[in-house]
A and B are shown apart, each in its own frame.
Chain A
């Protein structure tokens, strides 16, 4: 049976209404700033197998379309009306993917038949563990990341499991916040149940059962239609996180996107091994794990925003993620900061799709918004204050239809800032500057969006500023079709003074009274050759202070005389620029080009192959060792064809007899 299309459309609206009513109920009744300002939560409806088929569109985090609760659902033996189950363990079924995310699912029954689950999650500000807020790059095992609750019933047939709740609240730093948010989440669950019952009353249980299947099938059909419009082929893209741990070497994320008819294979082999830091992304090797599919969903939706956003759209795709790598780590790898890796991974996916349809999708987004936190003491009251002050976001990439959004956008679109007036009122800091960074957008026919900047002064000793998820100090966003890369991000203590300190990718910094922090994000990549940009658009950028007159001349070939365009000189300059240009699909910043001269794709291929043969606990260590040795090679001795890496590895094996044992044991 197939539901008739009009009924399905009406059914889809009712399913959306349920998911969205849950979201608004949760949002209205939640307590923590994370929910209210960052909207880091989601709600939805899932099938009896656990596949999400309805998610809210205008509220909540955007990463959870098609989240599959199946593994967690199976870990509970039996379900009864009134049950509510929870987990926040990243290694119990890979539904939850870092400890602050508390996931919840509630079975919905109709006449003794389990017909759906109401599902939701909230990012709790703190779930205990080694550091406040439970997240830090330098953690190495999931045990350090707070309390973990494997799938369990919080409510058993309507009866609260007080013991479980007590254990949970005893182990966190701000129990009243967790408790307030938990109540909001439960309210959302109950709203979902009520709405589903309303749906069954309206449509009948047969139509409901079939409608859910058909919604997922329709999503799949729509995705297949879109994939069919993308030319068959292999599309490769890779990008880097600046560091694999504090002070470390780069992390590479690589994707070979294989489009075949109406299907897609996302082959992530070639991405880094599992790390001894918390940047790992726990997926359990699932072929369509939600964290691997976010970029895919963004791309399909941007190609056609009328597509249904449900789990069906991921069905035509399959991911390849070898075990023991950053995208499929083995227990007990730390995973708290997986968001940082995921942000870059979304950019990599956008890059591969962009290579396939360069005229339909944008150049590189800035990605990786730094979440800034200040912990300080109010000199007047003596009170300690800890507050999240702002996400520092970069611009979106330009595309064939227009410039990238300034200041945020692309895969940072859901974040909100905090008004400076609120920050100064609640936290004893003075904001010196907040705004856009001129010339930070990649040049292009369609310019990349500008980055944001925040500069502030602190007043108390032992003030600690953290910049979680900060990256792109070294490798910036990428330009497409001749567009330029965005400007890299930066992080300074006392910039412009004689004791200025470049903090690079540091994410925790202790400050003295009077110190000034300056943090900037990365700009978005440009699309198309800059000398093809409408001269009036460049002039308007200059008038607005978004592009300097110098950059207009150097990057765009625009000659301005007395505030007006010198058409003749501009044309001459632009002709010269066009003549000297090489056509490439992507343009990277100089630091990345330098790096890839050292770390060629052949070297990476050799490294990936070698590390895949090692036991997991050797991989990150060996990666670091090989990196250090490659760094030491004199330029004249480098061949870059992979043999350098192989030679270094052979030497290392000589040095470690125990590695031979481990290899034999594999």
Chain B
């Protein structure tokens, strides 16, 4: 038995989780990340694991890893120089997107400049029709002309995205083959290979982002593989995916699109694990870091999925754990406008210079400074001793807005917290209405560096009655990667009625997806455990302009049980919209298949139950709910299984601080999770 290691690299820290497979014990660690030299922090962290916990590379038999190399390439626009080949007369697909402007009230609103600007979008003469038939064969001369022009402009890669290629990829594949003959080393990406969905903008932008980041991510993964090998880690490294699963790093080199949003996704998987462990079936996860606050909805340990999640300024349309940004993070700056209105964010002090109280040169008041000025933090170091908190600096920064608000420093600091929380309330309300859920039926699972600070305040605002703080809230993404399943999604566009006449097509489409999924998991992943195939269909009533995803079962499809399939669609429609019509014809827009190979789920060690009362480390003075009061400060390490405690109080731990206002009752479960329940 050895160790399973999960690593998540963020903007400031690289987080490590090491699970001892023999004892179920979890060791955690943070080291500063090295964005200029991605990968170095991994090797440094491995060294640190050895020094602190005596974990040697040779003991590691499973290694997962999430990286921000891909998403940073997009945000910083540092991907490769791409050319895009489109069907002639459709070169403006990226320019026009779906037309709608980001801020429709603003006369000067602009869409983001595409990653491939128009001079590098080149037309190819060819045409395939909606039903997949060839209207005009691929014209080699025009392809060669586009290719020559691309080379002349210094193309480092080519994306081929032709009309209706989801229906018939032949022209894209033929173009790729020809370009491969002309320039064997030039990377070529076909939109039908990356993610074959109907809707040309959505498919093209997805393929473009993939091509934009792929070479850089592949290079990074290759160097990481080499470094790990050299360090003596024999296990084949795995990488986390936006769909909440993992795949081998080797495969990640060609499927890097699937890694772009893996950091937030892994956090949600970690949150789902913690929720299951604590026995909570309906949870909203709240992840607040330095610059953003993100929420996801988790039911029965499973996150909800979405497409059209954004990478920087661009949407991508692969299945992704649905995570919604609801506001700003601990580093967000508070300001008072000319109208006397207090705002928090969107400007952020980030990690450099960071909040004023970090003493790294920041002088403007941030949300973290508000908590420091109210007395909640500053009773020890943060981030595993990486940060020392200077309360005086926080108060000085806060004084600048206190004067403008004609309030005292603490009152201003509390105002910052209230305004930030009400902004988050607004966004969570929208999210809840969009998904059709009621937050009051959910528990809030708070993590990230600043999540546990704000969690109770937001829960109170939303009428949520329970707040869960997992054992290691600062390293939940690393934990999520460690426990994630091997997972992949496949799609094919159907666009035919659900009818006996089309049953043959339905079956053969699903069979073909099944073949691809099985090949992926057994051959490409060399996965030897048992796996599950979960089909689904995007369906709608004929004439509707939108579809809903309905989970199906393979045997219904193979048995041709159309009634059953229609019935689950009607039921899902009824659940979402409050009505359905069993007589209306049903249309299948696309078919999906998910393959999941279960990762061994770790069994964490349980703590012995303690009958004593928890002892606070000291009493501290805080400003809470408009009054100064003395409250106990607990060290998280002193709280164990069976402990109960009253509010208000503050709990400090290595990677975060938990603020518990009046009204919550705390208890610690067998795994060390803290559950804060609002009394009646």
Contact = CB atoms under 8 A, between A and B. Distances in A.
Interface in A390-438: 391, 393, 396-397, 399, 401-402, 405-411, 413-417, 419-422, 424-425, 430, 432-436
B545 interface: yes
Interface in A224-268: 225
Contacts of A452: 96
A23 B430 CA distance: 8
A21 B99 contact: no
Contacts of A430: 129, 135
Contact of A20 (B129, B341, B429): B429
Contact of B429 (A5, A17, A58, A424): A17
Contacts of B419: 6, 9-10, 13
A191 B422 CA distance: 18
B89 A435 contact: yes
Interface string B99-143: 111011111111100000111000000000110000100000000
A187 B105 contact: no
Contact of B118 (A5, A62, A419, A545): A545
Interface in B187-203: 198-202
Interface stretch (B385-393, B498-506, B575-583, B665-673): B575-583
Q: Among the interface residues B104, B435, B576, which one has the most CB atoms of the partner chain A within 10 A?
A: B104
Q: Among the interface residues B338, B341, B415, B433, which one has the most CB atoms of the partner chain A within 10 A?
A: B433
B90 A405 contact: no
A77 to B, nearest CB: 31
B98 interface: yes
B405 interface: yes
B104 A414 contact: yes
A408 B95 CA distance: 11
B346 to A, nearest CB: 12
B163 interface: yes
Contact of A546 (B90, B99, B118, B422): B118
Given A6-B342, A419-B201, A436 B107 contact: no
B76 interface: no
A218 B106 contact: no
A62 B105 contact: yes
A56 to B, nearest CB: 9
A410 B200 contact: no
A195 B429 contact: yes
B98 A416 contact: yes
A416 B339 CA distance: 34
B129 A6 contact: no
A33 B89 contact: no
A424 B432 contact: no
A405 B106 CA distance: 11
Nearest to A57: B105
Interface residues of A, number: 89
B92 interface: yes
B108 A362 contact: yes
B553 to A, nearest CB: 26
Nearest to A174: B543
A543 B119 CA distance: 6
Contacts of A409: 101, 107, 109-110
B680 interface: no
Given A24-B430, A408-B99, A435-B91, A36 B105 contact: no
Contacts of B96: 406-408, 417, 434-436, 452
A213 interface: no
A297 B107 CA distance: 10
Contact of B433 (A13, A191, A309): A191
Interface string B421-443: 01101100110111110000000
A561 to B, nearest CB: 18
Interface string A486-509: 000000000000000000000000
Interface stretch (A298-306, A319-327, A461-469, A653-661): A298-306
B422 A14 contact: yes
A33 B342 CA distance: 39
Contacts of A415: 99-100
A107 interface: no
B415 A396 contact: no
B198 A305 contact: no
A405 B198 contact: no
Interface in B457-482: 461, 463
B544 interface: yes
A566 interface: no
B164 interface: yes
B405 A407 contact: no
A37 B418 CA distance: 36
Contacts of B422: 9-10, 13-14
A545 B339 CA distance: 45
Contact of A28 (B105, B166, B342, B436): B436
A176 to B, nearest CB: 8
Contacts of B340: 5
A543 B341 CA distance: 46
Contacts of A23: 433
A183 B580 CA distance: 12
Nearest to B430: A20
Nearest to B101: A413
A14 B338 contact: no
B105 A309 contact: yes
A125 B199 CA distance: 24
A580 B627 CA distance: 72
A31 B544 CA distance: 7
Interface string A182-216: 01100100010001001000100000000000000
Interface string A268-305: 00000000000000000000000000000111011001
Nearest to B434: A24
A391 to B, nearest CB: 7
Contact of A422 (B198, B339, B405): B198
Contact of B110 (A62, A402, A543): A402
Q: Among the interface residues A298, A399, A408, which one has the most CB atoms of the partner chain B within 10 A?
A: A408
Given A21-B430, A407-B95, A28 B576 contact: yes
B14 to A, nearest CB: 35
Contacts of B530: none
A455 to B, nearest CB: 8
B98 A218 contact: no
Given A306-B341, A419-B201, A436-B92, A396 B108 contact: yes
B521 to A, nearest CB: 30
A345 B213 CA distance: 46
B220 interface: no
Contacts of B198: 419, 421-422, 425
B119 A544 contact: yes
Contacts of A482: none
26 contacts: A5-B341, A6-B405, A9-B419, A9-B422, A13-B422, A16-B426, A17-B429, A21-B432, A24-B434, A28-B434, A28-B435, A31-B577, A58-B104, A297-B105, A302-B105, A305-B105, A350-B107, A365-B107, A391-B99, A396-B109, A399-B107, A399-B108, A413-B105, A413-B109, A421-B166, A434-B92
Given A23-B433, A184-B577, A191-B433, 9 more contacts: A5-B342, A9-B341, A306-B343, A391-B99, A407-B95, A411-B107, A413-B105, A421-B166, A424-B164
Interface of A: 5-6, 9-10, 13-14, 16-18, 20-25, 27-29, 31-33, 36-37, 57-58, 62, 176, 180, 183-184, 187, 191, 195, 198, 202, 218, 221-222, 225, 297-299, 301-302, 305-306, 309, 350, 361-362, 365, 391, 393, 396-397, 399, 401-402, 405-411, 413-417, 419-422, 424-425, 430, 432-436, 452, 455, 540, 543-546
Task: Across the A-B interface, give the 10 residue pairs with the lowest CB-CB distance, nearest first.
Answer: A435-B92, A24-B433, A413-B101, A13-B422, A433-B89, A544-B118, A17-B429, A413-B104, A17-B426, A21-B433
Interface of B: 89-92, 95-96, 98-101, 103-111, 117-119, 129-130, 135, 163-164, 166, 198-202, 337-343, 405, 415, 418-419, 422-423, 425-426, 429-430, 432-436, 461, 463, 495, 544-546, 576-579, 581
